[in-house]
Amino acid sequence: MAAEPGTALVCPGDRLGTTDAFCPGEGVYVRDGFLLAAVVGRQRLEAPAEQGGRPVLHVAGRGGAPLVPKPGDVVTVKISRVGQTACQALIMCVGRQALSTEFKGVIRQQDVRSTEIDKVVMYDCFRPGDIVRAEVVSLGDARSYYLSTAKNELGVVYARSAAAGAPMLPASWVTMQCPETQTVEKRKVARLAVVAGQA
């Protein structure tokens, strides 16, 4: 049974309450309908933002809580491996803040884009070493976060060409081009990168 907020120290993974009763705050993540502590610290309740809303449950870390990705966060990741139905990634930043702890992420085939999902070919969207902007969907299996690039502003923001190893420039929403060899490679390109490439 969860301790009353503020009365006891909690450790990462400790169950604090349910999503029916509380909203997750800093130092807390959600899994299977339960709020769990992401850091060592004491629980703290914050009054609901609107009348009739749920109170927000925080865990105040000791000595400053390390940054932990949570659903809805936009993260910067480096692709480490590409498979037929998913690619593995290392989460490097949450927003503009670099992480001090390594977190793993997975971009599944169904989370690459919002249309023509059944036609997605993972190797045409990402390659190992690509830097990608993605959104955290949820905490997935084996301590890997499920990530999505289905929005236009999400996708590859930096990639090197296979031929020359040079940083490529966005050519369209689905291609990037090597400035040295003019070789075109397929990618799921982020809107910000496309706009910057056309500027």
Name the nearest CA neighbour of 134 among 93, 82, 170: 93
Chain segment 112-170, per-residue pLDDT in tens: 988 888 889 999 999 999 999 999 998 876 678 999 999 999 999 999 998 888 999 99
Q: Is the pLDDT of residue 99 over 90?
A: no
Pair (55, 116) in one structural domain: no
Pair (80, 164) in one structural domain: yes
Pair (57, 78) in one structural domain: no
Task: Summarize the confidence of residues 13-37 as an average pLDDT.
Answer: 86
Asked if residue 4 is part of any domain, the answer here is no
The C-alpha atoms of residue 64 and residue 128 are separated, in whole angstroms, by 33
Q: How confident is the model at residue 26 (pLDDT cuts 50, 70, 90)?
A: confident
Amino acid occupying residue 140:
G
Of 192 and 24, the structure prediction assigns the larger pLDDT to 24
Q: Is the pLDDT of residue 197 over 60?
A: no
Pair (81, 57) in one structural domain: no
Asked if residue 1 is part of any domain, the answer here is no
Q: What is the pLDDT of residue 199?
A: 47
Domain with residue 100: its CATH number is: 2.40.50.140
DSSP 74: E
Domain that holds residue 47: 9-61
Pair (32, 121) in one structural domain: no
The C-alpha atoms of residue 4 and residue 166 are separated, in whole angstroms, by 56
Pair (104, 47) in one structural domain: no
Average pLDDT of the chain is: 85
Task: Summarize the confidence of residues 98-115 as an average pLDDT.
Answer: 88
Asked if residue 170 is part of any domain, the answer here is yes
Task: Domain count for the chain, please give it.
Answer: 2
Pair (82, 173) in one structural domain: yes
pTM, two decimals, is 0.65
Please state, for a pLDDT cut of 70, what percent of the chain lies above it: 87
Point out the domain boundary residue: 17, 38, 61. 61
Q: How confident is the model at residue 65 (pLDDT cuts 50, 70, 90)?
A: low
Phi, psi dihedrals of residue 177, rounded to the nearest 5°: -125, 140
Pair (80, 114) in one structural domain: yes
DSSP 174: S
